[in-house]
């Protein structure tokens, strides 16, 4: 089995070294990531869920990589399971959750880093629709971390003929790109559900990106990261596909369905709803303009109709296109 230090430094690392990857969370996203990880013929991949008979602490005992694919609400619970016994000192933690903690407003990787300060943390995010991955379709993603060696080790572990993996040193920006676009995907679903046309959709997505950048840079991300796969790439994929659960929420609301019925039809976690709540709180406290997110928030709380949300965006004060956009 590959040792931690050797795998991360890359010094003398052999292609035939066996690595152990534990994926926590056996939902659609975790299962898709397990499929990608198994493309690496030198990887032993273990998929764990709360229904698994073996304790998580035992499963991760000899892991080289521990990837969390649980929902945002499940991150703290998973940390609580692992913290008493700790993690192997060489293990790299990979966070593939897209969301914001409602209480602390922290990203998943920040929660993991606080709990396991001595293990390197790497974020995995990008335009990766689970259903397409399950069908073996090609895709690209981003892995990002402050520890360059650990990040490159994750890049090597997941790269395959069907997955192109890019690396960068901006985990917060990468994480927030994947998180904030979920709010915009709800708005995109509304746009398509109301059949507003391609012109309106193009305007919405173009204005969504600077809104994401304003919040993302305030929270510590780098502006350029949002123009990459984890920002613009994920935004385009999620806002243009009926496979996206967040898009489905917006589309269903535009069809006049109540939110609880829309969620019942989806049968899965929709992270954009909680993210909208936290995002609007941050924007309010820090006086950051987020017009699209605010209308999504009002729509989710039944304060306005989808038609009124669109009208509110159109009726905003006239301004210069690039005025204060990237502050």
Active-site residue among 181, 201, 257, 319?
181
CA 225 to CA 176: how far, in whole Å?
Answer: 10
CA 189 to CA 186: how far, in whole Å?
Answer: 5
CA 325 to CA 141: how far, in whole Å?
Answer: 26
Neighbours of 115 (CB within 10 A): 18
CA 180 to CA 226: how far, in whole Å?
Answer: 10
CB 300 within 8 A of CB 250: no
Name the β-bridge partners of 122.
Answer: 94
Report the greatest alpha carbon distance in the chain: 61
**Would you call 181 a catalytic residue per the annotation?**
yes
Neighbours of 209 (CB within 10 A): 21
Instruction: State the DSSP string of 259-282.
Output: HHHHHHHH-S--HHHHHHHHHHHH
Coil, strand, or helix at residue 19?
strand
Burial of residue 22 (number of CB atoms within 10 Å: 0-12, 13-18, 19+) = buried
Neighbours of 317 (CB within 10 A): 4
Structure tokens belonging to residue 66: 């521990």
CA 253 to CA 261: how far, in whole Å?
Answer: 9
Burial of residue 149 (number of CB atoms within 10 Å: 0-12, 13-18, 19+) = middle
Neighbours of 9 (CB within 10 A): 13
Catalytic residues: 181
């Amino acid at each position: 089995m590959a040792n931690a230090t050797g795998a991360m430094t890359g010094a003398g690392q052999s292609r035939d070294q066996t690595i152990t990857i534990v994926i926590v969370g056996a939902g659609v996203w975790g299962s898709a990531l397990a499929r990608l990880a198994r493309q690496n013929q030198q990887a032993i991949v273990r998929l764990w869920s709360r229904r698994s008979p073996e304790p998580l602490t035992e499963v991760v005992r000899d892991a080289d990589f521990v990837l969390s694919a649980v929902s945002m609400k499940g991150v703290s619970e998973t940390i609580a399971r692992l913290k008493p016994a700790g993690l192997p000192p060489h293990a790299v933690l990979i966070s593939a959750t897209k969301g914001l903690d409602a209480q602390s407003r922290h990203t998943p990787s920040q929660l993991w880093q606080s709990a396991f300060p001595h293990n390197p943390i790497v974020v995995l995010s990008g335009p990766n629709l689970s259903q397409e991955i399950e069908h073996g379709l090609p895709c690209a993603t981003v892995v990002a971390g402050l520890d360059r060696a650990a990040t490159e080790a994750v890049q090597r572990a997941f790269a395959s003929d069907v997955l192109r993996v890019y690396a960068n040193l901006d985990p917060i920006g990468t994480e927030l790109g994947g998180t904030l676009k979920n709010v915009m995907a709800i708005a995109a679903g509304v746009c398509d559900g109301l059949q507003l046309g391609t012109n309106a959709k193009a305007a919405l997505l173009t204005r969504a990106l600077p809104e994401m950048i304003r919040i993302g840079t305030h929270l510590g991300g780098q502006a350029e990261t949002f123009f990459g796969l984890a920002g613009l790439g994920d935004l385009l994929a999620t806002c243009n596909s009926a496979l996206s659960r967040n898009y489905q929420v917006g589309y269903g609301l535009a069809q006049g369905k109540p939110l609880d019925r829309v969620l019942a039809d989806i049968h899965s976690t929709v992270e954009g709803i909680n993210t909208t709540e936290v995002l609007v709180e941050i924007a309010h406290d820090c006086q950051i303009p987020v017009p699209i997110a605010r209308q999504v928030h009002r729509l989710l709380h039944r304060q306005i109709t989808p038609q009124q949300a669109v009208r509110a965006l159109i009726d905003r004060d006239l301004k210069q296109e690039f005025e204060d956009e990237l502050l």
